[in-house]
Amino acid sequence: MAEVLKSACPLNCWDSCGLLVSIENNKVIKVEGDPSHPITKGKICGRGRMLETRTNSPERLLYPLKKVNGEFQQISWKQALDEISLKLKEIKEQYGSTAVLHSHDYANNGILKNLDQRFFNGYGGVTEIYGSLCWGAGIEAQKWDFGDAYGHEPEDILYSKNIIIWGRNVARTNMHFYEKLLEAKKNGAKIFVIDPLYNATAKIADEYISVKPGMDGLLAAGIIKEILRLGMEDRGFIDQYTYGFEDLENLINTISLEKISEMTEVPIETIHLLAKVFTDKPTSTFMGLGLQRYKNGGNTIRLIDALVAVSGNIGIAGGGANYANLQVGQSFDVANLTKSDRKTSHRQFSIMKQAEEVLAAIDPEIKMIIVTCGNPLTQVPDSSIVEKAFSSVSTLVVIEQFMTDTAQLADYVLPTTTSFEEEDIYYSSMYHHYVNYGPKLVSAPGEAKSDLWIWTQLAQRLGFGDDFRLSREQMLQLSLLSLAEKGKTLDELKVKSSLELPVKRVPWEDFQFKTASGKYEFTSMNKGEEGKLKLAVPEESKWNNPLLAEEFPYHLLTIHPLRSNHSQNYHLLPKAPQLKIEVAENIATDMHLKAVDFVRVWNNRGEVKGYLSILPKAHPNTINIDEGMWRQFGGSVNNLTSSSESDNGLGSTLYDCLVNIEKIN
């Protein structure tokens, strides 16, 4: 008889679901949703169900591997750990500890995954990456405007009269929010979707607004302009609780509504309609992460925030400029886990430009890269440079569950556990404010070991084993210290499987902002000229680079796939996937292309090939290729993307990308 136990989804996702896992003979046989989870209520997506396939897959890495003369050979853990720790010791002595780069992303939401930093700090401090491919520009933008990036709790949407879904692919990426939207719609709320792609969420919208990619900041400016013209701004809020409104007014006066309509490719009547919608309060705005992966991404989010502020939708139930909810992560004492006081050296590379930085590094050069919770060869922009950089270092160590494109390049591949094979707690600072418990349910296959075991073994060999003497239980306690003071303990979490975190349900209700002025800042007070809002456009656009736009007339989006979490699921699908190139109807007509033609998409950085499909109602001149495919399936789409940084330096410009397309045989 199978035993059914509660667990949690570890995937980097908005939803952070509660799971029920069936176990028989020390084997996971089924993964379902946990009906008792307060938010996710028994529903999960295919990626969650595939955690079963992921755990049991015959393709799992089972033994440490070392590349000898270009071929992987199985070696013992002792040999792998002895050799890697010896190299680490020698590198530190000869070049200093920052000659090691830790390249990672956030493929696993477990809090103990932060212990990688405890290891690198104990070692002396390595070259770390900063910024985020995912949400960096928007988080920084909201820090400038509000002082932090806080969202309303999920139930609050039921107070909204109008709901704006701005560049978030809710039905695909955030399924429990989609359920809430349906509930709100039933209650009478009106839904507006602003997106260059007519996605599944647009289908339930009362109004779908198609916008030219990267032009949302300008669109927000147009709506503000219209609100001011109609005299419908929230004067009380603006006068009492904001800073820099005059700068915003001056900016808005530099451009006409006609010009905005022409550039955004949104009709004036629609801008007028949106002005009415925003001022018919409460109106909640839910921004996705797609709309800020542009050079102008910071300004885009800041102009949308400004629109929410001008229309008086901040700090009220059913309102909000919802982007992320950092209150969730801030509930934990992550710093207790990472022990940053242990490091004596320090260097940082931008996550976007990590490859260029590796190639350019001197003093010291990068001698070793250690990759955890990431697949940079597939996920980091401008793949050809990533490949060059990751192949150039003398030692590449990849800790992985599967033989990814990045692992293929490695000198050492260390096999690691999946989430059901180790205990951890899981949360996401993206949507809801519950933390979930995930016990160890089954043993790991072969010789796969947890990341924590690997850090502990290496630390012992390097002489700082004491930093890892605490048990998993003690490490978890450390991360929950402040919560325990508020009566939220690990024991309770273990019993209940999920706990509500003490966050503000409606942030900024008291209009006390965490900015320098204590007010909402239209102009960021301590950022000088940079702090003023700008009507910026994408880097790869006809306005910024007319020659490039002539050679590469189409805008490429590379959004998140339906059936895979980034690069994690494609290889586990029952049928081998093919690269699908989705184009707006006008492109198919202009270029005489039809469905399932084999086509090539290229620019100056690289190319991909795949099968054409036509996207009904997509914004003209727009192409989409879902991200995440390994090379063997036709990827990576990041062959085409740029490693530029957003205007505020902390985000990617993955969707700020011009390409051309042609049919091939």
Ligand X SMILES: Nc1nc2c(c(=O)[nH]1)N[C@H]1C(S)=C(S)[C@@H](COP(=O)(O)OP(=O)(O)OC[C@H]3O[C@@H](n4cnc5c(=O)[nH]c(N)nc54)[C@H](O)[C@@H]3O)O[C@H]1N2
The nearest distance, CB 23 to ligand SF4, in angstroms, is: 18
Q: What are phi and psi for residue 615, nearest 5 degrees? A: -100, 105
The nearest distance, CB 10 to ligand SF4, in angstroms, is: 8
Q: How far apart are CA 51 and CA 419, in angstroms?
A: 9
Q: Which helix (H) or strand (E) holds 29?
A: strand 27-33
User: Within 355-414, which residues bind ligand X (CB under 6 A)?
Assistant: 372-375, 379, 399-402, 404
In the list Mo ion, ligand X, ligand SF4, none, the entry touching 99 (Cβ below 5 to 8 angstroms by class) is none
Check residue 134 for interaction with Mo ion (CB under 5 A).
Answer: yes
Check if the beta carbon of residue 299 is closer than 8 Å to that of residue 536. Answer: yes
Check residue 110 for interaction with ligand SF4 (CB under 6 A).
Answer: no
Q: How far apart are CA 195 and CA 535, in angstroms?
A: 19
In the list Mo ion, ligand SF4, ligand X, none, the entry touching 519 (Cβ below 5 to 8 angstroms by class) is none
Nearer to ligand X by C-beta: 85 or 169?
A: 169
Q: Where are the extended beta strands (E) located within 300-378?
A: 321-322, 347-350, 368-372
Query: Which residue, 32, 11, 40, is CA-closest to 498?
Result: 40
Nearer to Mo ion by C-beta: 382 or 521?
A: 382
Residues in the interface with Mo ion (CB under 5 A) total: 1
Q: What are phi and psi for residue 60, nearest 5 degrees? A: -55, 145
In the list ligand SF4, Mo ion, ligand X, none, the entry touching 44 (Cβ below 5 to 8 angstroms by class) is ligand SF4
Which residue from 151, 167, 318, 531 is in contact with ligand X, where contact means CB under 6 A? 167
The 3-state DSSP class for residue 173 equals helix
Which DSSP symbol is given to 416? B
Apex 95 CA angle, 346 and 359, nearest 5: 75
Nearer to ligand SF4 by C-beta: 416 or 565?
A: 565
For the beta carbon of residue 376, count every other beta carbon within 10 angstroms: 28
Check residue 47 for interaction with ligand SF4 (CB under 6 A).
Answer: yes
Which residue from 211, 310, 442, 629 is in contact with ligand X, where contact means CB under 6 A? 211
Nearer to ligand SF4 by C-beta: 45 or 389?
A: 45
Check residue 15 for interaction with ligand SF4 (CB under 6 A).
Answer: yes
How far is CA 21 from each of CA 18, 29, 440, 442, rounded to the nearest angstrom? 10, 8, 11, 11
Nearer to Mo ion by C-beta: 135 or 245?
A: 135
User: Within 618-647, which residues bind ligand X (CB under 6 A)?
Assistant: 627, 637-638, 641
Q: How far apart are CA 97 and CA 119, in angstroms?
A: 12
- What number of H helices and E strands is found in the chain? 24, 27
How far is CA 204 from each of CA 43, 52, 67, 524, rounded to the nearest angstrom? 20, 32, 52, 37
Check residue 498 for interaction with ligand X (CB under 6 A).
Answer: no
Query: Which residue, 660, 661, 662, 658, is CA-closest to 213?
Result: 658
Which residue from 48, 213, 320, 374 is in contact with ligand SF4, where contact means CB under 6 A? 48
Query: Which residue, 311, 287, 299, 291, is CA-closest to 164?
Result: 287
Stretch touching ligand SF4 by CB under 6 A, among 13-21, 77-85, 460-468, 544-552: 13-21
Check residue 353 for interaction with ligand SF4 (CB under 6 A).
Answer: no
Which residue from 6, 8, 9, 14 is in contact with ligand X, where contact means CB under 6 A? 14
Q: How far apart are CA 275 and CA 224, in angstroms?
A: 7
Check residue 429 for interaction with ligand X (CB under 6 A).
Answer: no
Check residue 12 for interaction with ligand X (CB under 6 A).
Answer: yes
CA 100 to chain centre: 25
By the criterion CB under 6 A, which residues form the site for ligand X? 12-14, 105-108, 133-134, 166-169, 172-173, 194-197, 199, 211, 213-214, 216, 288-291, 372-375, 379, 399-402, 404, 416, 451, 557-562, 565-568, 627, 637-638, 641, 654-655
Residues in contact with ligand SF4 by the rule CB under 6 A: 9, 11, 13, 15-17, 44-45, 47-48, 175, 565
